[in-house]
Amino acid sequence: MTFTMSDEKVSGVTFQFDAAKPANHRIVDGSVRIGSNLLEMEKKYKLCTKDYLRQGKDGYDVFRDGICLADGETAGILPSLAVALEGS
């Protein structure tokens, strides 16, 4: 089954989700795709998110390790932040 997030807006990312598994282990290995490409854990990706999530709130701890590329002060009126993340 493909899991659909209700609060988050994700464009072009799909994955398989197993609700029977424990927290932090529910994404099926090898199922994450960005467009038609499999996620490469060693590759760096860019994403745009609110500062609240970039600070690791609501369980998004991994975003704290990202590098802020632009925020509202450096990019003018920008309600979100561009963050570069390294796969682990």
Residues 9-18 pLDDT 10s: 677 888 898 9
Q: Taking the complete model, does pTM exceed 0.75, yes or no?
A: no
Q: For the segment 32-41, what is each residue's pLDDT rounded down to a tens digit?
A: 999 999 999 8
Domain ranges of the chain: 1-41, 44-87
Element (H, E) at 69: strand 67-70
Nearest to 84 by CA among 48, 51, 60: 48
pLDDT classification of 31: cutoffs 50, 70, 90: very high
pLDDT at residue 77 above 70?
A: no
pLDDT over 70, % of the chain: 70
